Structure 1
Amino acid sequence: MPFMKGRAPIRRTIKYLEAGKLVLKENIRIFSINYNTFADNHSGAREIVFWNIPQIQYKNPAVQVITFKNMTPTPFVRCYYDDGKQVLVDIDNRNRTEILDHLIKVFGKSKEQLAMEAFLAEKKDNPANFGYGCDRHCICEILGQVPCPGTVPLPLHMRGKNKYQQQ
């Protein structure tokens, strides 16, 4: 499998991408991270880019994720909102978990909001569904279907006892 080659191929599996914790708020349009590849105080930012940027991109398909390498003396994250505002977060001398927890607190959706969205995504009001807890109790309520034999008797040619046991 060619997708399992390279450094840490686990990053390309669906299970790993879905395990991401950072789901950005709806009004964030661009998420950028600036870091250097050579300084020790940038190690947390490098780990975020290596391990968590694929998860952030997977969980937030409507957000543009940009990384800038070797352009700044200190690492930082900048988010651009749809109304033109920018928020800058300094991530200098922090490890990966500290950075991720802070980004979730500042830019992420709350656990209650994520739980509500998951609940709404589960509920499917499909008109083809019928039974207990759905809009229709029986398929006979849909136009063009055969009515329930309990309320309207079936025609004789549709009954098995008249078709197969002709006496």
Structure 2
Amino acid sequence: MPFMHGLMPLRRTFYYLFTGKDQVQGRCTSVRYGFSSTAIKRRTARCSRFRFWHWAQLQYKNPRVQLIKHVDTVITPFARAYLKDGREVLFDLEGMTREEIESRIARTLGKTELVEKREELMEIVKLNPADFGSKCKRQCMCEIQGTASMYSITAST
């Protein structure tokens, strides 16, 4: 298999996908990324490295965001994000390294560290609705509509 040689398999490992920092906020619906593979190499080489290394991470970290690649549609590389309220955010990526592109997208569309920490804590604290007890949402199973208590079953038989 040709894709299992070189650096290609590294980009598909779970650890590499999980270490991606590009997590877009919920207000973004889709991101278009356009570049030219036939233009002058020094213009687009850096952007193609971003696409090579970070595209899979973007897809993994943002499952609800539609990511679209436009190859050979324009000469200068760009990224355009569409927000839920109808606005568009345009990024000019010409001459930027992959780290600069990643930081620009993270600064503009990404979640802040405070939001990420809060979501992480909410995931930890998230209670299972099937749990019962003093620190849970329901004290006893008999509080759920449709469940019979032990006393009503024995009294009717």
The match for 1:31 is 31
Cα deviation for residue 47 of structure 1 reads 1.0
| Kept in 2: contact 1:3–1:12 (CA 8 A) | no
Tell me the SS of whatever aligns to 1:71: coil
Alpha-carbon spacing, 1:136–1:71, altered in 2? closer, same or farther (3 Å): closer
User: Which structure has the larger Rg?
Assistant: 1
Which of 62-71 and 121-130 deviates more? 121-130
Task: Find the aligned partners of 2:67 and 2:111 in 1 and give their Cα distance.
Answer: 17
Counterpart position of 2:95: 93
* 1:78-106 Cα shifts (integer Å, max 9, x gaps): 00112221110111111110110111001
- Length, aligned pairs only: 142
DSSP-derived class of the 1:67 partner: strand
Contact 1:41 1:92 in 2 (8 A): yes
Deviation at 1:145, TM superposition (A): 9.3
Alpha-carbon separation, structure 1, partners of 2:71 and 2:87: 23
**Structure 2 length-normalised TM:** 0.79
Q: Tell me the secondary structure at the aligned position of residue 65 of structure 1.
A: strand
**2:82 is the alignment partner of 1:83:** no
| SS of residue matched to 2:82 | strand
Which structure's relative contact order is higher, taking Cα pairs within 8 Å and 6+ residues apart? 2
Where 2:80 maps in the other structure, the secondary structure is: strand
Moved over 4 A (4+): 130-137, 141-146
1:160 is matched with none
Q: Is 1:5 matched with 2:7?
A: no
Q: Provide the C-alpha distance between the structure 2 equivalents of 1:34 and 1:127, rounded to a whole number of angstroms.
A: 45
Q: 1:134 to 1:104 in 2, by over 3 A?
A: same
Structure 1 residue corresponding to 2:112, chosen from 110, 114, 117: 110
Amino acid at match of 2:62: N
Structure 1 alignment gaps of length 5 or more: 147-167
Q: 1:19 to 1:70 in 2, by over 3 A?
A: same
Structure 2 gap segments, 5+ residues each:
143-147, 151-157
Query: Is 2:61 the partner of 1:59?
Result: yes
| Preserved contact between residue 17 and residue 60 of structure 2 (Cα < 8 Å) | yes
- After superposition, the C-alpha distances for 1:88-128 in whole angstroms (9 at most, x for unaligned) are 01111111101101110011111110111111111131244
Q: What percent identity do the matched residue pairs reach?
A: 30
Report the Cα distance in structure 2 between the residues aligned to 1:9 and 1:92, rounded to whole angstroms.
28
Tell me the residue number matched to 1:163: none
